[in-house]
Amino acid sequence: MNYDQIMQLALERGFYFPSCEVYVDAQAGFWEYGPSGVSLKNKFVELWRRELVRRDRMMEIDGSQIMSQSVFVASGHLSSFADPIVTCQKCKSIFRADKLITEITSMVVPESADLSEFDKIILEKNIVCPRCKGRFDNAHKFNMMFKVDIGPESESAYLRPETCQSIFVDFPRLYKTMRGKLPIGIAQIGKSFRNEISPRQSLLRLREFYQAEIEVFCNPNKLDNLEKFSEVENTELRIMVGENIKTMTCKQSLDSGVLPNKLVTYYLGLLTEFYQKTGIDVTKSRLRKLGDKEKAFYASVAFDFEVETSTGWLELVACNYRSDYDLKSHANVSKEKFEVLDDDVKVLPHVFELSMGIDRSLYTILEHSFQDDKKNDRIVLSLKPYLAPVQVGILSLVKKDGLAEKAEEIFLNLRTKYDTFLDHSGAIGRRYRRLDEVGAPFAVTVDHQTLQDGTVTVRERDSMNQERIKISDLDLYLARETSYP
RNA sequence: GCGGAGUUAGUCCAGCCCGGCACGACGUCAGCUUCCCAAGCUGAAGGUCGCGGGUUCAAAUCCCGCACUCCGCACCA
C-alpha cells in the first residue's frame, strides 16, 4: 500500500486525475475529482457535518472565494503570507533571505524585516550563493496568494488562502442574527488557493484545495468552563509527549497539563472521534504540538493532527489557538465592532480553529483502506459502507433466462436511495473484483433461484461471504448496513 | 527554481544506442461458452510516441528549447 498504487487506483477507477491534462500548459497542483472521488468526498463531508457541525450545534456558512484586499491587510496575509526571497544571478537558485543569513552569519533577522535590510546584510557580510558562489539579486517577497483584478478598474482582490477569513468577517452579523452564544462554532467547507512554489504528490499538496474549517469563538476567561466536556472525557487521544506518542483520555490529557484547557481538549476529542469513523487507522495518528518556529503567524498555540502514510507523517488538521488575533485586526481595519456580550460582560472572543485538509484526508482514507489481497488475487478498498462511492452492485449471474431483466428491476427500485451500479457483462468473478476496487461493500446477485423464490445473494466485500435474502428485504438491509454510525 | 531520472493506448511497458508502416501484456467493448469469485475461445476499439522547433527523402529514434512527473535540495499558511 504505497503512494504509487493509490495513484494508479485513483486514475483507473475515477477517484482523481490531473486537471487540464490534455493541454500542454496544464499546471501542477490542480486536480479533478472523478465520479468515485466526488461520491467519496460528498459522503466524507456528510460525516463531517454529522460528527462536528450538528453534534456540536455549529453554524455552517458558504463564503466567497474571492475576497477584497482589505480582508488580507487585516488578516496579515498580505504582509506575512509571503517569504523574503533572494535569487542567485548565476545559477538561479532561490533561497529564503532570512534563513540564508542565519545559516551563514548566525544573525537572526526577522522574516518580516524590510527587504532593504536583507540586501544590506548580504552586501556587508559578503554573502554569496552557497552552491555556485554567485551574487544575489535584491531580495523580494513572494506572496503565496493568487491576486485577481475585479471589474474594468481592476480593483485588487485575492483568492482566499484559507476559508476561515469569511467566518471572521461575517462573525458580527452571524452572532447577532443567529442568536449566538459563546462558545459557538462556525464552520465552512470550500476551496482555498495557495500559489505553492512546487506542488507535488497529487492531493497532498495542491494549489487549489478543499478545506473544512471550524472556528470556535469563545470567552478567553471561560476556557475551562465547558459542561459538554464530559461527553469526551473518556475519549482516547494519541498525543506526542516528548519523542513518544502517548495514548491518554481527554481527562488525563487535561489533568496532566499536556493540553491547556477544556475547550481545546474537547474539540481535539471530537476531532479524534470523527477520524475514527472515517476509517483512517487512528493507531497511525498523533497530535503534535508545534514549536514556535513551525506555527503559523496567527497562532499562539498549535497542534497538528497527523497521520502516518507511505509518504511519511502527513498533516491533516491544523488546530490553532488564534486568540483574538483575527477579530481584533478586522475590528481595527474595518472600524466595525466585534465585541459581543457574554453573560452581560462585553468580550472580544478568542478563536480556536480546526482547519482540516479534505483532499489529504481523502487520500489517507484511500491509503489506509487499500488492501492487496494476494490470497484471493484482488485489490480491495475496505471503505466504510457509508463512505463508499458505490454502495451496492446489482449483478445478474448470467444475462439470459430473464436474469438481466430481474436485476434491472431491482436496480430501478434501489437507484435513488443508494449509490448503485448495474452490471451484466463478463464473468461474475471479474465483476466482483471491479466492485472491490472501488470499495463497494455489497454486491447483490440475481441467479436462477431468484426467479423461483424471490431471493438474491448478497456478497460482503471484505469477507467475500454470501447470504441469501429476500428482494423485499433488500432496502431495509441496505439502509441498515450503509447508514452513518 | 536547482541537480538527477523519466514521459510511448485507460494501466504497465518493448522499440531509441545503430532513423525506414509502433511490439506485447493487462484492462475495456461485442459475441460464444461455463454459471458464484480476474477461466477459455472468437472478434473489435483504443496512439498528435509529453509539447514546439531543427537535421533528414524519411524522426518514437539524432540535435535544441520548453512543459510535466518522480527522487533529492530548497520551499511548505
pLDDT value of residue A123: 78
In a domain, A154, yes or no: no
- Asked if residue A378 keeps its beta carbon closer than 7 A to nucleic acid strand B, the reply is yes
Number of compact structural domains in chain A: 3
A136: its cell numbers: 544575489
Give the pairing of strands A82-87 and A66-68: unpaired
pLDDT band at A64 (very low <50, low <70, confident <90, very high): very high
Q: For residue A75, is it within any domain?
A: no
CATH number of residue A442's parent domain: 3.40.50.800
ipTM attached to this prediction: 0.81
- Whether A185 and A88 map to the same domain: the answer is no
A428 CB below 7 A from strand B atoms:
yes
- Tens of pLDDT, residue by residue over A253-308, are 999 999 999 999 999 999 999 999 999 999 999 999 988 767 777 788 899 999 99
Q: Lowest-pLDDT range, A122-126, A391-395, A416-420?
A: A122-126
Considering only residues 129-188 of protein chain A, which place a Cβ less than 7 A from any atom of strand B?
A: 131, 144, 161-162
The answer to whether the beta carbon of residue A233 comes closer than 7 angstroms to any atom of strand B is no
Q: Note down the domain range covering A231.
A: 3-61+164-368
Q: Average pLDDT in the A350-373 region?
A: 93
Say whether both A400 and A428 belong to one domain: yes
Is the residue at A149 inside a domain? no
Q: What is the CATH number of the domain that holds A106?
A: 3.30.40.230
Q: Residues A278, A279, A283, A289: what is their CA dihedral angle, to the nearest 10 degrees?
A: -20
Query: Do residues A417 and A387 share a domain?
Result: yes
Q: Are residues A357 and A382 in the same domain?
A: no
Q: Is residue A300 part of a domain?
A: yes
pLDDT, average across residues A385-401: 92
Q: Is the shortest CB-to-strand distance from A26 to strand B under 7 Å?
A: yes
Please report whether residue A118 resides in a domain. Answer: yes
Note if the bond before A161 is cis, omega within 30 degrees: no
Q: SS3 letters for chain A? A: CCHHHHHHHHHHCCCEEECCCCCCCCCCCCEEECHHHHHHHHHHHHHHHHHHHHCCCCEEECCCCEEEHHHHHHHCHHHHCEEEEEEECCCCCEEEHHHHHHHHHCCCCCCCCCHHHHHHHHHHCCCCCCCCCCCECCCEEEECCCEEEECCCCEEEEECCCCHHHHHHHHHHHHHHCCCCCCEEEEEEEEEECCCCCCCCHHHCCCEEEEEEEEEEECHHHCCCCHHHHHCCCCEEEEEECCEEEEEEHHHHHHCCCCCCHHHHHHHHHHHHHHHHHCCCHHHEEEEECCCCCCCCCCCEEEEEEEEECCEEEEEEEEEEEECHHHHHHHHHHCCCCCEEECCEEECCEEEEEEEEHHHHHHHHHHHHEEEECCCCEEEECCCCCCCCCCEEEEECCCCCCHHHHHHHHHHHHCCCCCEEEECCCCHHHHHHHHHHHCCCEEEEECHHHHHHCEEEEEECCCCCEEEEEHHHHHHHHHHHCCCC
Same domain? For A107 and A202 the reply is: no
- When mean pLDDT is compared over A44-48, A126-130, A342-346, A395-399, the highest value belongs to A44-48
Do A400 and A354 lie in one domain? The reply is: no
pLDDT at residue number A89? 66
Examine the domain organization and report whether A127 and A39 are in the same domain.
no
pLDDT surpassing 60 at residue A226: yes
* Residue A396, pLDDT score: 92
Q: Domain boundary residue among A113, A143, A173?
A: A143
Domain end, chosen from A368, A395, A422, is at A368
A323 domain residue, yes or no: yes
Regarding predicted confidence, which is higher, A120 or A176?
Answer: A176
Instruction: Write down the pLDDT at residue A283.
Output: 93
Check whether residue A330 has its CB closer than 7 Å to nucleic acid strand B: no
Whether residue A249 is found in the same domain as residue A395: no
In strand B, which positions have an atom below 7 A from any protein CB? Answer: 1-2, 10-12, 27-31, 34-40, 48, 50-51, 67-71, 73-77
pLDDT band at A30 (very low <50, low <70, confident <90, very high): confident
Using pLDDT thresholds of 50, 70 and 90, give the confidence band for residue A133.
low
pLDDT (0 to 100) of residue A140: 76
d(CA A215, CA A196): 24
Same domain, A354 and A222: yes
The per-residue pLDDT for range A189-216, each reduced to its tens digit, is 999 998 876 677 788 888 889 999 999 9
Query: Domain with A201 in it: what CATH number?
Result: 3.30.930.10
Task: Say whether both A87 and A38 belong to one domain.
Answer: no
User: Are A222 and A300 members of one domain?
Assistant: yes
| Mean pLDDT confidence for A8-22 | 84
pLDDT digits (tens, 9 = 90+) for A77-115: 888 787 777 776 665 566 777 767 766 776 666 666 677
pLDDT in tens, A431-458: 999 999 999 999 999 999 999 999 999 9
pLDDT band at residue A14, thresholds of 50, 70 and 90? Answer: confident
Give the whole-number percent of chain A exceeding pLDDT 90: 61
Q: How confident is the prediction for chain A on average, in pLDDT?
A: 89
Q: Please say whether the beta carbons of A394 and A431 come within 8 A.
A: no
Say if A159 falls within a structural domain. Answer: no
Which nucleotide comes closest to A450 if you measure CA to C1'?
B36
Co-location of A116 and A240 in the same domain? no
Q: Does residue A52 surpass a pLDDT of 90?
A: yes
Domain boundary (A311, A344, A368) is at A368
pLDDT reading at A376 higher than 90: no
Q: Is residue A77 assigned to a domain?
A: no
